[in-house]
A and B are shown apart, each in its own frame.
Chain A
Amino acid sequence: MGLATFVISIVHGLLWGVVLGAVSAGLTLIWGVMKVVNVAHGEVALLGSYLIVGLYCALGLSPYIALIIALASGLAVGIAMYWGMLHKLVGKVEVMTLRVEMSTLLIMFAFSVAITNSYYYFIGSEPKGLGLWHFGPKSNINIGYLVIRTNSILACILAVALVAVLHLLLAKTTLGKAIRAVMQDAQAASLVGINPVKIKMQTTMISIAVTMLSGFLILLHETSIIPGTAALYTPLSFVIVVLGGLGNIMGSFVGGLIIGLVYGLSKAVIASVFNPLASAPLALSIAFIILVLTLLFKPEGLFGR
């Protein structure tokens, strides 16, 4: 493997890693705070992607305006999901039991089955994307032997912004402090006057809205999406959230970078020593081996106590 390949793998790995880190933010929030194991996470992100594609293609709206609409609808979808599915399972629960946690996993899986098949039925399995739309004056930037799509760069910028805003929201605002209090101890939080039900609903809203926004990043990075795209992003988000530690936004961002890098580098190595066609699946299998090993040896995540 030459130096050029090495540099290219690192850069592309990082570009994807940043997106992965941002996509995982919503999951680490809802799982960390509410113990809701959202196995429909990638599907929710695609809801955002499809909404933006739809608004752009059907109504000719600029993706930036579509993004704002996606944010607003994300909040609304969050409210609906909370009251429709989650409240009955976790709303009044102060100390989470394993059974409650499992029931959230099952209900979210039922949701993912319904929503994925809705995509297939109503939208179809053909790739959907923003066509020739690109960020800035050109669609590609060339730096030596490196070719980077400008949309990938936009995805990176937005990803960093999204994670930064979410981090500040949790660290600095009253709402963020209340959310963290509920995460640590819902019982104690309610004793100091925090209404856990309200916080759980708001957490769901934020998580779903952020996840739908991150669908735009997936769209920018992947160029086009199919319903099956979710089947990659959901499990990868789990790898990253576990690696970063539940509820740790910055942790999952770093986790995303690590997985992106590991994927990029191992893909290059496997391609050069074994077979380029086998490199992508085998590199992905490494990510899942990392998931299992993290759960076994450092279940609190890389940055946990």
Chain B
Amino acid sequence: MSSFSELKARLLKPTPLLIILLIAAVAVARLLNLTTLDTMTIFMYFIAIAASLNLIMGFTGYVSFGHCVFLGIGAYIYALMVYYVPWANALQKTGGLGIIAVALIAAVIAALVAAAVGLAVLRLRGAFFAIATIGLDFAVLYIVMGTVPFINPEQFYGAQVILPSRCLVSKTSTFTAMFITMALVLATNYLVRKSRFGMGLVAINEDEDAAEVMGVPTAKYKTLAFTLSAFFTALAGAVFYLNGGGVSPEAFDLAHTVDMIVMIVIGGLGTVSGPIVGGIVYYWLYDTLLVHYPGVNLIILGIIVGLIILFAPEGVVGILRRYEFKGVKLREVLE
């Protein structure tokens, strides 16, 4: 235990830690060729959605395959709000914090949806839960496709909400908003991991029945984790599609969930550093493949993901944490 407390003490000394983080951030930015605000925003979006899904999938093992439904709900509510509600549009123009303030409303609505269906759907286990969330995603997708065009038949053709210039904000603002989103969800991951709540979630992942008998209120905890996860996914979705200038039914594409899952699987399930490591690797992979192999990039990505699932299901962090380094267990550092 001594190594752990030493390590904790070291990590809590703020100045050296901040310097290390800063150097790491610069190195990552150079490595990933994050030269514009836009690429940085997208990179942070990747980490944010991975860390969001990690809250339910990583900690409890429940694979919410239709999780992109919350991405879509967040993005659509945000876009419609700034389109129709003058004060929301005015608020988002004040900058990053203003965007977050409006996005919070969208995120709360997504979280309410998650809380309502979560109570019921989380009774299901394994593939049935995954399929139920896919069902939810498609149900919402087709409801959006069947209703949004009729809100404004001339503008929202094909259920696309393209934001006119009066609703757009600067790239600096979306960058700031995405940074706040990422920081919030990573902090939440960290706090959950270190808390009683997080211990309960991991116990659910290990053996739900045993956890319940040991006193973990499994139904409540699962629903709470699912709701938190939906909240941050919607927040990230709102900011990401604002950054892109509008939203289309593509936001409900299961491929977004796959992005999230792949990042967590690469990084390591249920760890705090997993989504970050996974985000860096995935963004690099995504960017490199896109630049060098346009057209076949997604084919290669699919194959790589398949190989990871077959041959390294624990992910990078999952493998690393089994090793000890100079007496410090990596397991304790990485989680």
Contacts and interface: CB of A to CB of B under 8 A. Distances in A.
Contacts of A238: 131, 134-135
A113 B305 CA distance: 10
Nearest to A100: B126
Contacts of B310: 85, 88-89, 107
B296 A278 contact: no
Contacts of B302: 110-115, 117
Contacts of A219: none
Contacts of B117: 292
A98 interface: yes
Contact of B298 (A39, A89, A113, A277): A113
A50 B261 CA distance: 30
B127 A285 contact: no
Given A118-B299, A291-B132, A295-B128, A278 B138 contact: no
A184 B303 CA distance: 32
B146 interface: yes
Nearest to A35: B127
Nearest to A279: B146
A279 B150 CA distance: 12
Given A107-B306, A277-B149, A296 B138 contact: no
Contacts of B136: 288, 292
Contact of B303 (A105, A114, A275, A295): A114
Contact of B138 (A115, A121, A288, A299): A288
Interface in A163-219: none
B61 interface: yes
Given A113-B258, A275-B150, A281-B145, A107 B309 contact: yes
B137 to A, nearest CB: 8
Nearest to B145: A281
A235 B128 contact: no
Nearest to B65: A105
Interface string A268-293: 00100001011111101100110110
Contacts of B254: 109
Given A114-B299, A288-B135, A105 B142 contact: no
Counting chain A CB atoms within 10 Å of each CB, which of B117, B141, B146, B254 scores highest?
B146
Interface string B265-287: 10000000000000000000000
A282 B306 CA distance: 34
A46 interface: no
B139 A117 contact: no
Nearest to B305: A110
Contacts of B123: 296
B63 A295 contact: no
Q: Which secondary structure characterizes the binding site on chain A?
A: helix
Counting chain A CB atoms within 10 Å of each CB, which of B123, B126, B135, B258 scores highest?
B135
Interface string B114-152: 000100110111111011101110111111011101100
Given A98-B126, A238-B134, A295-B131, A113 B301 contact: yes
B69 to A, nearest CB: 11
B298 A98 contact: no
Contact of A291 (B131, B140, B305): B131
B134 A295 contact: no
B61 A98 contact: yes
Contacts of B141: 285
B130 A37 contact: yes
A89 B135 CA distance: 25
Contacts of A94: none
Counting chain B CB atoms within 10 Å of each CB, which of A114, A282, A292, A295 scores highest?
A292
B150 A278 contact: yes
Given A106-B265, A238-B134, A278-B149, 19 more contacts: A106-B261, A110-B305, A114-B299, A115-B302, A121-B299, A235-B134, A281-B142, A282-B146, A284-B138, A285-B140, A285-B142, A288-B136, A288-B138, A288-B142, A291-B131, A291-B138, A295-B121, A295-B128, A296-B123
Interface of B: 61, 63, 65, 117, 120-121, 123-128, 130-132, 134-136, 138-143, 145-147, 149-150, 254-255, 258, 261, 265, 295-296, 298-299, 301-303, 305-306, 309-310, 313
18 contacts: A37-B131, A88-B310, A89-B310, A109-B258, A114-B303, A114-B306, A117-B299, A117-B302, A121-B296, A278-B146, A278-B147, A281-B143, A281-B145, A282-B147, A284-B142, A295-B135, A296-B124, A296-B132
